[in-house]
Copies of this chain bind each other. A is one copy, B any other.
Amino acid sequence: MAARGKVYLIGAGPGAQDLITLRGARLLAQADVVLHDALVTDEMLELCPRAEKILVGKRCGQLSTAQQFINKQMIDNALKFPLVVRLKGGDPMLFGRADEELRALEEAGIEVEVVPGITTALAAAAASKQPLTKRGVARSVAFFTSSTAPEHAEHDAIPDTDTLVQYMGGREAIATAERLLAQGRHADTPVVVIENCSRPDQHIRRLTIASLAQGLGAAHGPVLVMLGDAMKTRAHQHNDEAQLPSAVQQLSA
């Protein structure tokens, strides 16, 4: 029993290698095995050169079967190796299905620790220079996602917070906009849409709920939709959104 390894659920952040935490990076460098999902970038995996890297959790396919397989792989590896990392895009505790994985590890008697990651909403706020809260304008923010079961999605009210962030909101853009209008949000409410946040192909669009209702077209990566009066641009705001954040350029030079 004492020989059992430990599993770390680590948030990789939105994609850029330097947006993982120091703790996450240090654990990756020591890891024996890294089980990662498809949202984890190649540059992130460069941080664990000595680990065996296993791609799990494909984005399509039978989700529950895939989850059981991931759980089994975590447990099997923890019985063989001292330091196993389960690396997830964003943060493990927000839309990361951590509950299922924690439960499986605990039932198997495997020690587990969670290391937080930068959730995409925070990286998107930084990249677009749009704070999620704003004194006198926005004092609450909700993160939500549509149900994977479409029959539920229609009945769910969208939260009533000042700022709203929809994860994986690309495909449902039209439905989201229609529900927001039906719930009384103004058609001219500013919307910021970020695709591939923090990555070389990051793309930021500034819309309104009215234009969101026209749809977003095909996406080539994860899409985040942020909206509310906090998304209004400032008078002298300089948006250099076609460029990579300069910190990435400087630091990789």
Contact = CB atoms under 8 A, between A and B. Distances in A.
A21 B112 CA distance: 22
Interface string A103-121: 1001101011111111100
A22 B26 contact: no
Nearest to A156: B139
A171 interface: no
Given A103-B234, A161-B159, A17 B21 contact: no
Interface stretch (A33-41, A141-149, A172-180, A199-207): A141-149
A183 to B, nearest CB: 11
B113 A247 contact: yes
Contact of A97 (B111, B122, B135, B247): B135
Contact of A237 (B106, B129, B131): B106
B102 A234 contact: yes
A68 to B, nearest CB: 13
A25 B22 contact: yes
B20 A22 contact: yes
A74 to B, nearest CB: 15
Nearest to A23: B18
Given A102-B131, A113-B245, A113-B246, A23 B19 contact: yes
A238 B113 CA distance: 10
A94 B133 contact: yes
A48 to B, nearest CB: 14
A190 interface: no
A91 B247 CA distance: 17
A46 B73 CA distance: 39
Given A116-B118, A126-B115, A142-B141, A99 B18 contact: no
A100 interface: yes
